[in-house]
Structures are given as structure tokens and as C-alpha cells.
Structure 1
Amino acid sequence: MFNKLAAFFAGKYARWVTILIWVALAAILTVSLPPVGDKEKNNAPNLQPDSPSVLADEMIKQYFPSGAGVPALIVWHRDGGLTEGDYASIQALTKELAENPLEAQGDLIPLHLMPLPAVQQFASEDGSTLTQPVAFAEATETELLKENMEKIKEMAAAIVGSDPFSVPIEGASDLSARISGPVGISIDATDLFQNADFVLMAATVLLVLVLLLLIYRSPVLAFIPLIGVGFAYAVTSPLLGWMAGEGWITVDSQAIAIMTVLLFGAGTDYCLFFITRFRQELTKESSRSAALVRAFKGASGAIAMSGFTVVLSLFALMLAKYGAYDRFAVPFSLAILIMMIASLTLIPALMSVIGRKSFYPFIPRTEEMEKERAAKKGKAYEAKEKRKTFGDRVGKLVVSKPWTVTIACIAVLGILAASSTGIKYTYDLLSSFPEDMPSREGFTVIQNNYAPGELAPVTVVVKNGEAADLAGKLAAVQEVDHVSEPTVSEVDPAYASFSVVLSINPYSQAAMDAIPHIRSAAEQALGEAGSANAQEQVWIGGQTAEQYDTKVLTDRDNRVIMPVVIGLIAVLLLLYLRSITATVYLIGTVLLSYVAALGLGWLILHHLMGFDAIQGAIPLYAFVFLIALGEDYNIFMISSIWQKRKTMPLLQAIREGVSETGGVITSAGLILAATFAVLATLPIQVLVQFGLITAIGVLMDTFIVRPFLVPAITAILGKRAFWPSKAAPVEESKQVQFK
């Protein structure tokens, strides 16, 4: 089958047909379907419809409609305290918004109808800050919200006489203003990703091109993988755009950014796996068609296996309950699937057309071709002595001292893995944005000038709680500072809501841990008042409750998806290698390097870059990528050892397998790690953390697990590495003595 496929792509006419099919497919899809960037939805919900905080928000909207809507928080601030003129400006803006409401605008606090002392009660204790909420209808488009915020800024500038939104927050005595809250954060997050796809793609393409030129020193060869990746992207983007337009999937800027990096990184790797094998065969075969057939037969199995491993691992994210994970599944798996197909069809066709010239100026030739070339130049042919490469020395080391290599690798990775036990996690997405982002600046002003819990009070809604001492029970919770008087619903007086202000940062881990205590206190109060079903009569909403639900879903997804990914990879390895032993240690080594990458990444992020915590989504993101991509390199190397074992002793097969695959896997690993490191250039901390940890994991797989640990374990196990398969016997004449 492999011979027939390779012969087809190397055929005189079929290779051109293959190229034309890809060109036509990319052109038709690009013209007829929208690019995926046009279908981004950056405010898609992450929590499930039945998450407790989501249900609480629905109850608030239904029974307390005056508090419903998405708020924009206008944060007014002046060092030394707001003046009477400042309050007059704030009241004038409120009056303008009340008399000429913006599109989709909701309720306002009528500050313009209040006397000055009443307005001042909304200010911070030191009188330097006032937070003015302006609500907008649910599901309002981000673009409309942005237009509304620009109008508010224009109104404020006209009233104040200068632009308070351009005044620095710190070190300025003039009145400053910032827009924060959900509306401000949504707008700023969208602006952060404005043109990020193009910038990220341009930076990734340039980086990959430079690395290919430095590694292979061939201008033609450097562009061939990029052509393959470019066509794969040209097909993937409109397909994803079409699927998103039909409502089948949801895509956001973060998913597209990481998909771009993955496509160029992993896609270049697959192309290099084939190209390197083709170059090796060109030194043995004078016919490029014959060389391509041999290269396809030798590399296609490993490439297909590697591709399916990544596709299935990424597709397992479909099992996620947390929206951000689920939105990754289809874009990532489809991109890798199309890239794998391109590396097995388009790349062989291109290499068949260009042939040996692909490697100019270092053109691979057979020994006979070199002799003929020397004769034409009138020179005597001198066989070039093969230089020992780093891969040769590594191969010799792992077969001569396998126990030493194994113990050293496990010790290094184990020490780094132990550092992962100290990782602290955060589920506050705002903290992942730049500190100078306007909405975060406004949030910081609120944080510095109001009581910690007033940043985001917890809202407790109860039914039939008249006789219960709810306020007293809630106030008795250790993390609670105070509880407001109950607000009775005008829709149904049976419902009442309490605003619970915490005594600690409402975005902290301790605050999230307080949510179950608050729920328990409310249920206990209802139970003591005689309620038979208190659990069904309490709803808790607010930012802290949402973060708690996020942690619950994230922990659930970790427990479900991680074992599924390991199971899928184990099945594929068993089918491909037919060895239980090899499957176990191949998976075990990448798991160890994954935990070690988390540990080293945390040491760098915490001690060198000053991060107090990493985003709670990072472990699963890094796990899926590192386990799947790390197994790629293992598969490519171990398949070389497995093939060579059929014709030579195992130790020689290990030595030659490590030497043969060392160069290409090292090059591929450097390129893949560098592309993930590009994410660290974006001004979003979650991508910085993900890019750094993933790049570290790829480098560990490239320079520790693949060249040292896996072949050393294989050498120690010997024939047992093939169990339950039986190793093919090798003739004595083919035995090689190792010095």
C-alpha cells in the first residue's frame, strides 16, 4: 500500500495533479468561505448552564431585574480626594446618560437627582474614588459596547473640559477615569487580540524560516515546509470559519492564536520527518522516484501514527465541561489532521518535482554519482570519511552505560517534577491581562481604595427565608465582613437577596473556598426555620461564585480528560508497536517530563518573572500538548529502532536509531519549542505561562527523554522491550562488536 501511494505521488503526472488539487482546494475554500478570524466569539460562556453561579444569575435576572444586565464600571479617581467640581461632573454625565440613553443601556443609579452628601456616600472612605455603574443588556455585541464606551468618553471629556481617560492613574493631581467591570474587560480583551492572529503568524513564519535556514542552510528546503503549512492553514481556516458560522463550533481569539502556533510548529516537524528520510534515501538511490518511494515507506507510518496521536489527544477535549477547553478540540484536531494529510501528499509531490535541488547547495548524491561528478571535473574521487555526530556519541553512550543514563535522567526530571508540588493556581482571568490595560487599571484603583470584599460582593438569593436568621448566619462565616439588609423581590415577594461582602480579596483562593461555607450557612438557616428542601432554595452568584464553579469544572475535566488521553495514546502505541512493555515506558517517560516541565516552568515564572500563581487552565492545556507531541518524537525514534532490529542486534539498532533520528528530532524540537515560545511575546499572561511551560516540556523531550532516557531503558530491557511480541532473530554474521 505504501509503495503504491508513494509511486502515485512520485508519478510524472500524478504529482502535478496532487499539487493542483491542493491549490484548487485552498483557493475555492478561501473565496467561498469566511476565514476563522471573522467568526471569533470572545465572550462565549465557559461555565455550564447548570453551574450553580449561572443558575443564580438567572434567578437574579428573573426576580431582581433592576440589578440585571452587564455593568460597565466608570472609576473616577483623584489623588487627594474628589472635589465638588468632580462630583458635579459625575452628576452631569449621569444626567446626560439618563436623558439620552445609549443603545442597549440599562439601569443607572440616579446620582444627578441626589444631593452632594448622598453622592459622596458612594465614594471610597478616603474620598479619592467613586465607582459609577452603567448597565447594558445581556448579550450585547462587544462592538456596540465599544462604541458606547467611546461615546461615554466623549461626553465625559466635554463635561470635564479635558479627557480624564488619558490622565495617568498614579502621580497625577487631575481627575482621572477608567472603564472597568465586565464591559471594560470584554472590550480590552478584544482589543488585545486585535490583529494578534496576523502578528503571531508573521512572527511564527519568520522564526521557523530563520531556524530552517540556520539548521539546514538550504534556501529551497527552508520554504518547502512553510508551503505545506501555508496550504494546510489555507484549508483549515475557512473550514473552521464555516463550521463556526453554522453554529457547530465556537472559536475565540485564544484558540486561534494557539492553533496557529501548533500548526506551524507540529506541521513543520511532520514535513521534516519526511524530508530527512528522503535525503537519506537520495544518498542510496540514484533515481529520485525510487528514493521517494523508499522514503515514503519508511516515514509515512511514523508520521501518520504521530499525527493520529495528536489528533485524538486534542479531540479528547470534546469531553470537557469547561467552555475554553471544549472550544480548543475541533480547531486543533482538524488543523493537525489536515497538516498530516498535507505532509503525506503535498510534500512528497513537491519533493518529487524539485528532487535533489531541494537541498541546494548541499545536494545529496549516491557514491556512484559522486564518482561520475568527480570524473567530469577531471578529479580523482575520494570517499568522504563519515564524521561522528553528536547523535553517534549519544547512541554509543546509551548502549554502553544504560543504567547510568537512566538513573541520571530520572534524577534530574524527578527533582524538577518535585517542584511542581509548590505551584499555586489562580482562576482570576483579569490577572492574566497587562497591568496597564485600562480595565485592569480601573480594577486596581477600586482594589486599593475600597474594602477588599466590596470589589465583588457575593449575592445570596433565597426563597421563603422570612423566618430564618439568614443575615446573622451569613455574617458568622469566618471570611465574611458584613451582610447587607435583604432586598425583597418585586416580582415575587417569596424571594430575597443578600449582598455578602467578604473580608478578603474576593478573587483569592481563600474566597473561593468560602463559597461552600456561605451556602452551608444559608441552608442551615433555612433548615432551622423549618424548610424541608433548603438545598433547592439557595442560589449564590457573583464573581467569586463563578470562579469557584470554574475550579470545580476544571478539576473535573482534569480527572476525566487526562486518563482518556493516556488511554487513547496507549491504544495507538499498542496497535503500532504491538508491545505492552514499550507502551508503558514510552508513556511513563513523557508523563515524567510533563510534570518536570510544570515544575521548572513554575520555578521560572515564580522566582524569576514574579508570578504569584499560574492560571488554573495551564496544567490541562500543557498536558494534552506535551503528552501528544512528546509521544511524536518517541514514535519517530522508536520506529527507527524497531525497523533496524529486524536486520541487526538490538544494541546496534538502538545506537544507529538514535544517531539516525537525532538530527531531525533535535531540529524539529527546537522549531516546535521556539514556536510555542512565540506565545510568550503576547501581552496575555495565560499565554505567556502556557507558551513557556510547553516550550520547556518540548525541549526536555527533545534533549533528555528522546536521545537518552527512552533508548537507555530500551537497552536495559533488551528483548523484553518487545513483549509480548517476539524479537526477530539476527544472523551471527550481522553481529556488531561495540568498543
Structure 2
Amino acid sequence: MEGYGKWVSGRIGRWVTLAVWILAVGVLSAAWPGVNSQVVNNAANLPLDAGSVQAEKLAQQEFPSGGGIPALLVWHRQGGISAEDLVHIGAVYTALEKKPLPHLLSVPPLGQLPPAALQAQLSKDGSTLVTPLIFDKAADSDQLGDSVAQLKEAVKAETGRDLSAADLASGDLTLRVSGPVGISIDAVGLFKDADVSLLIATVILVLVFLLLIYRSPLLALIPLVAVGFAYGAASPLLGKLAQEGIIIVDSQAVSIMTVLLFGAGTDYCLFLIARFRQLLKEERSPGRALLQAITGTSGAIAMSGFTVVLALLALLLAKFGAYHRFAVPFSLSILIMALASLTLVPALLAIFGRGSFYPFIPRTAEMEKERAAAKGKPDPRQKISRKGKIGRLVVTRPWAVVGAALIGLGVLASSSGGIRFTYDLLSSFPKDMESRQGFDLIGSQFTPGGLAPVTLMADTEGKAAAADMKSVLSSLSYVDSVSDPQSGAVNGNIKSYEIQFKVNPYSRAAMDYIPALRATVEQALDDAGVTGPGNKVWIGGQTAEQYDNRKVGNRDMDLIIPVVIGMIALLLLLYLRSVTAMLYLVATVILSFFSALGLGWLILHDLLGVDAIQGAIPLYSFVFLVALGEDYNIFMISNIWKKSRTMPLKQAVSEGVSETGAVITSAGLILAGTFAVLATLPIQVLVQFGVITALGVLLDTFVVRPFLVPAITVLLGQLSFWPGSCPKIPETQSGGDD
């Protein structure tokens, strides 16, 4: 570490390090595309063996005309749609038949129907009409968005007004595009709109925090410069990997990656900066102070970064595409950020030296006296150090500290048992989002199941007894309507039915009907004498996809959470060489995670009125909180371990808590703040993720790190190092300096 430190902070090495970073980022940016240019937002989330995927494959083979993705045009006029409105709607469809939109597969011949036929399809109060358009499933969200934009222009040309901009309660004719196409467009649009605002808000927040902490404009910019260089290197690397088809990146991954870089990256920088600032008050030579800071913190920084990288790489084990796509962007960006913290940041600190902290430059006591004498002022009085209150409390009353922390965290963790989860994509949209407004109209005026019908296909093997499947399906209490059967183009014994549920097709209740529906049809086939009915039923559509999403997501969670815990435990064991310390460090972070879930649920549900949180939140939050939470423990425990070699353990704990307190508190506030920025976005899944992760970081920062972990260390004493040991130095004092 000393050799590396001498190089990156040396007279020549500092400039070479800076030049290498500038050259690397410049060459990579010029040679390879940025990650944002390679974003793909319609990538598959489900594996090929998922039931809904198999159903879609069969549908394309047997029922090729139904292989598209529907857009539902929701026409509405408060007080009732007029005959003139119906003429305009028919004219729009006639125009689309003559001049199809890009990626439009089929247009129902509504323009050929008399107005009376359309009148019959209105809602009961006559205010709403839903008409479909079928688009190509291969089109991505951007392409669909362009097509829908052209559709709205065609509607405007026919009606003379922008119906999409009209207020639903205005009494004018309005148009809202919903269904799978509208939802897909809005989902991607939310993340696109969020990227710039998220970046600006994160930069401002980190900058303000750094200015408040160090009151130095230059020092506040150094971590931001490092993050900028890290992003400048990560973006083209990820862009190239995506261009070559090695990975797939989406807008959500890029958004969270930006927050992660600023939050975790600033933390790593602060670990070094805080130690450098402390040593500048003890060492006259800034070069020697920086070298000591590098050798003293680089191991913990490298270990922290490696822990996060491995935890995020565990997402590669996921079968669910959204989880899997996070692994490489997140882990690679953190790896590059850790390298920047270990090389670029020391080089910049070496270049600016004490001036990095201007105007509040840290100096040794002797230098302060010399400075005062040169100005003709009295010698500054030596500040009297005071005992660290938290450190003293931890070592004098460890049982009380552990008990209070465990009770508090345990109560919060118990609240996590009452969490309700949802996989309803629409619930994550703002209420004024177009596709959600359209869906609300469908749900209030028609059956909500019409938004995304379920497609059921069954191989009847030509059995006459299986021919009355429509009656069986219609008799189910949760089914609102069933279409007449269609026969397969290749295998005529395969019958297809379109089923509309009575509930929101994206809701948890609708998903719970999928296995029941399958069991009912399999039993009917078995009763009809069909052989092997378990392999003769296929269920497709949005509800079936959501059911598979939940099933695969739960599988990933059950696999990845133990793997992450195991990897972090192994790394801690290798780094600390203590089984005992590894066990209680992992246990406290897991407790902190469940406490954050419980507290997050209380805030989101009881204060913000959220009925259920998105099903992906626990896994997302777990990976981030367990990995990032161990950062602070590693930094503090490594400090305590070093001190325990030269002083009594209680004194080492007290001083370790006091010395790392300020920097970990600052780092925790910045990291929590960056995740909290996500809560300002109009996307509920990011709001929920941001709130829970920010709370978890704060619990780690203000409860687990300063109180629970050091108090447990005091109680265990020498056992904390088992099977290793530390010198048994007699206890002479139990306080530490702040």
C-alpha cells in the first residue's frame, strides 16, 4: 500500500495518474458509444420456459393474426359521445386503413360500420368508447411512441383539436391511449423524463452536503470530478458491451446507476479525505500526511468496493431480466468508482495539498502558532480535547446500548411482516398519466379486465366432451366474459379463448386466478378423456406475464439473498480473519435491512397512503443495503482492529467510534440523500426504493454503526477476534477523543 501510495501522490506520479484518467476517458468516449445511446426498453424479462412465453410462442404459430400488441383508444365525452363524434372516430380508422402508421399490424374496419353500430359499443351512460389498434410486438417503446404521436396528429387533423390534451371533465371529446402499448410508452417516458432531473438534483444535493461539511468549494468539487471521470469511463465501456450484445441496459438501470455512482462514490472519497484532513493537523508535510491517509484507508476502501461489486454481480444469477440487467452496469460502475477513489482522488489531493481545504485549511498546532506570530497575533490557545460521548457510552454501558438498539430495530423489523406487495405496473404511474387515465375510464365504464384480456389455449384432442369449454370458463366467479373459441391454424384441435376478468388484470388478485384457471381447464380436459392434460393448456396475456414475473422474481429472491449473504460473509472473514466478527456484522446489517423495510412500510402505507409496494423492492433494497451497509462497518471495524494492537480494546472501540463518527455520518447522509432524491420522481417503484434504501442507510449510519456494532464488540471482548486474537493490553481508560 505504501508503494502504491507513493506513486499516486508522488511529484511525477500524481500528474501521470491524472493524465492517464484524462486520456482513458477521452479515448473511450471517442471510440465507443455512450450507454444512453444503447438503451433497450422492451427487452424480455421472462425466461423462455415461462408459461406465458410458451403461450405466446404457440399463439404466433396457431393464431398468427393475434400476434400483435394492442393499443386501446379510450374516447370519452362527459355527458355522452355524440353522433358527430362517432363519425369522426370512424373517419380516423378509415384514414388509418388507407395510410397505416409505422409498426401498425391491423386496423379494425370501424370506418366501414354505420354510426349505429359504434353507438351499440358505448358504455352504459354513453360517455365512453374503447377501440383497439394492433401494433407489432417487435417494435420498442420509442418506435411505438412515434407511431402513437402520428396517430394523435391524424386525430387532430380529423377533429381540429388535440383530444389528448383536453381535460376529461371539460365536456369536450377526449382521447387517452391505454392498454399494453400506452402503458409501455408511458413507463419508458417516465424514466426518460427522470434522467436529467435526477442527475441535476443528485449533483446539487451532493455539492450542498460537501460544502456544508467541509466549507471548501475546491474540496466539494474533487469527489464530483472523480464521479464524473468514473461515469465518463463506465458509460462507453457499458455502451460497447451493449453494442456487442454482451449485455442489455435499460433506462431504469441507467437512472439508478447514476445515483449509485454519486452516493457510493462520494462515500469512498470521503473516507480518504477525512483521514487526510485529520493527519494534516498532526503532520507538517502534506505529502507525508496524504501517504499515511492512503495507506490507512485504501484497504478499507478497496474492501468496501469489492464487497459492493460482488454483491451486485450476484444479480447475474437472476432469471428475471430486469434484475439480471442491473448486474453488470452497477458492478462495473462501482468498480471504476473505487479505482478512481484509490488513484484519481489521491492524485488531485496531492496536486492541491492543503489548498484543497481552502479557506478552512487544517494545520498543525505548531504551524498555527507560527502563522499567528507572523501576523503579530497572540498564540492560539490549544483546544482541549473532550471525550467522545458516544464512544464513552458504548464502552461503559454496552448491555443497555445493545438492548435498546435491538428492541428498537426489532420493533421496526416486525412491521415488515405486514407488508403487502403488488405487481400492478399501473399503480406506479402518476394518476394524471395518460395510460392510467384511460385504464380508470375502462374500469369505471366497462369491465377493467378489458384492458388486457387473458388468452387461454387448450388442446382438446378433438374430444366432443371438451367442446363446451366456454361454458366451463363462463361459470367461473372471477370471469366476466369469454369469447367464442378459435381453432388453431396448424392443429385444429387447439382452441383459443379470450377471457376478461372482473378485476384489474394487473392486480395481485388477477394473478392469483391464473393457477386456478389452469387447474380448472386441466380438470375439464381430464374429465373429457384428454391424455396428459397438464401439457395441453397454455395461458398468455398481460396477467399471465405478471404471474410469471412474480413467480420468477420470488425464485430469484430466494436464490440471490443467501448468495449475497454468503459472499459478504466470506469477504469479511478473509478481511477480518474473525468468524465471530463476521457473524455479528452480517447479522446486524440483515436486521437493519428488515428494520428499514418495516419503517419504510409504516411511512409509505400509514403516512403516504400506499396500499402495497412493488414486488421487486425487497430484492433491490436488500442488495444495496447489505452491500453498502457493510461499507461503514468495514471502515469502522478496521479502525478498531488497528487500534486494538496498541491499546486496550475498550479504548480502541471508544476512539474508533469517535474517529470514524464524523466521516461515516457525513457519508451516510450523502448516500441516504442521493437515494432520497429518487423519492422526488413521479415513479412509485423508484419512490418506494428510494425511501426504503435511504432509511436503511440512515439506520446503519446512526444506530448500527455507532451503537450496536461497537457495543457488541465490547461485550464479546477478545472473543470478537476468534479464532484470531489481539494483544491483551490492560484497560487503563475507556474514553476516546473526538
Shorter-chain-normalised TM-score: which range?
A: over 0.9
Q: TM-score, normalised by structure 2?
A: 0.97
Tell me the equivalent position of 1:472.
Answer: 471
Tell me the secondary structure at the aligned position of residue 250 of structure 1: coil
Within 1, Cα distance between the matches of 2:68 and 2:574?
54
Question: Alignment partner for residue 177 of structure 1, among 162, 175, 198?
Answer: 175
Tell me the equivalent position of 1:728.
Answer: 727
**1:362-394 Cα distance to aligned partner (Å, 9 max, x none):** 2222233233333433455344223437xx110
Are 1:595 and 2:591 an aligned pair?
A: no
Tell me the equivalent position of 2:161.
Answer: 162
Within 1, Cα distance between the matches of 2:734 and 2:455?
76
Distance 1:298 1:208, change over 3 A: same
Q: Which amino acid aligns with 2:402?
A: T
Between 699-708 and 486-495, report the one with greater CA deviation. Answer: 486-495
Between 575-584 and 99-108, report the one with greater CA deviation. Answer: 99-108
Are 1:412 and 2:421 an aligned pair?
A: no
Within 2, Cα distance between the matches of 1:267 and 1:158?
51
Within 1, Cα distance between the matches of 2:643 and 2:549?
49
**1:560-593 Cα distance to aligned partner (Å, 9 max, x none):** 0000000000000000011111111111111111
Tell me the equivalent position of 2:390.
Answer: 394
Q: Which amino acid aligns with 1:682?
A: L
Tell me the secondary structure at the aligned position of residue 360 of structure 2: coil
Q: Retained in 2: the 8 A contact 1:75–1:442?
A: yes
Tell me the equivalent position of 1:89.
Answer: 88
Q: Which amino acid aligns with 1:68?
A: G
Between 85-94 and 514-523, report the one with greater CA deviation. Answer: 85-94
Tell me the equivalent position of 1:267.
Answer: 265
Tell me the secondary structure at the aligned position of residue 473 of structure 2: helix
Within 1, Cα distance between the matches of 2:513 and 2:273?
57
Are 1:422 and 2:421 an aligned pair?
A: no
Distance 1:639 1:527, change over 3 A: same
Tell me the secondary structure at the aligned position of residue 124 of structure 2: coil
The aligned runs of 1:142-153 (5 Å cut-off) are: 142-153=141-152
Tell me the equivalent position of 2:533.
Answer: 534
Within 2, Cα distance between the matches of 1:551 and 1:737?
52
Question: Alignment partner for residue 322 of structure 1, among 311, 314, 320?
Answer: 320
Within 2, Cα distance between the matches of 1:350 and 1:453?
60
Q: Retained in 2: the 8 A contact 1:477–1:521?
A: no
Distance 1:737 1:39, change over 3 A: closer
The aligned runs of 1:42-441 (5 Å cut-off) are: 42-169=41-168, 171-388=169-386, 392-441=388-437
**1:38-88 Cα distance to aligned partner (Å, 9 max, x none):** 111111121112210111112122211222212221111112222221221
Within 1, Cα distance between the matches of 2:94 and 2:9?
75
Tell me the equivalent position of 1:544.
Answer: 543
Between 220-229 and 450-459, report the one with greater CA deviation. Answer: 450-459
Q: TM-score, normalised by structure 1?
A: 0.96
CA drift at 1:465: 5.1
Tell me the secondary structure at the aligned position of residue 43 of structure 1: coil
Distance 1:145 1:456, change over 3 A: closer
Within 2, Cα distance between the matches of 1:141 and 1:509?
26
The aligned runs of 1:645-724 (5 Å cut-off) are: 645-724=644-723
Within 1, Cα distance between the matches of 2:451 and 2:190?
24
Are 1:442 and 2:441 an aligned pair?
A: no
Structure 1 alignment gaps of length 5 or more: none
CA drift at 1:471: 2.4
Tell me the secondary structure at the aligned position of residue 362 of structure 1: coil
CA drift at 1:172: 1.9
**1:376-418 Cα distance to aligned partner (Å, 9 max, x none):** 33455344223437xx110010111111111111111111111
Tell me the secondary structure at the aligned position of residue 343 of structure 2: helix
Within 2, Cα distance between the matches of 1:524 and 1:270?
60
Tell me the equivalent position of 2:450.
Answer: 454
Distance 1:409 1:308, change over 3 A: same
Within 2, Cα distance between the matches of 1:679 and 1:482?
41
Q: Which amino acid aligns with 1:336?
A: I
Within 1, Cα distance between the matches of 2:288 and 2:301?
19
CA drift at 1:190: 2.9
Tell me the secondary structure at the aligned position of residue 349 of structure 1: helix
Between 466-475 and 202-211, report the one with greater CA deviation. Answer: 466-475
Q: Retained in 1: the 8 A contact 2:506–2:543?
A: yes
Within 1, Cα distance between the matches of 2:259 and 2:384?
37
Are 1:41 and 2:37 an aligned pair?
A: no
Q: Retained in 2: the 8 A contact 1:107–1:134?
A: yes
Within 1, Cα distance between the matches of 2:682 and 2:14?
44
Q: Retained in 1: the 8 A contact 2:105–2:134?
A: yes
Number of matched pairs? 733
Within 2, Cα distance between the matches of 1:386 and 1:643?
25
CA drift at 1:737: 5.6
Tell me the equivalent position of 1:494.
Answer: 493
Between 187-196 and 638-647, report the one with greater CA deviation. Answer: 187-196
Structure 2 alignment gaps of length 5 or more: none
Distance 1:373 1:166, change over 3 A: closer
Q: Which amino acid aligns with 1:686?
A: V
**1:174-220 Cα distance to aligned partner (Å, 9 max, x none):** 11111112222222233323353232212111111111111111122
Q: Retained in 2: the 8 A contact 1:507–1:543?
A: yes
Within 1, Cα distance between the matches of 2:239 and 2:586?
35
Tell me the secondary structure at the aligned position of residue 709 of structure 1: helix
Tell me the equivalent position of 1:605.
Answer: 604
Within 1, Cα distance between the matches of 2:486 and 2:112?
22
CA drift at 1:144: 3.2
Within 1, Cα distance between the matches of 2:50 and 2:286?
60
Within 2, Cα distance between the matches of 1:502 and 1:82?
26
Distance 1:380 1:82, change over 3 A: closer
CA drift at 1:666: 0.2
Q: Retained in 1: the 8 A contact 2:179–2:451?
A: no
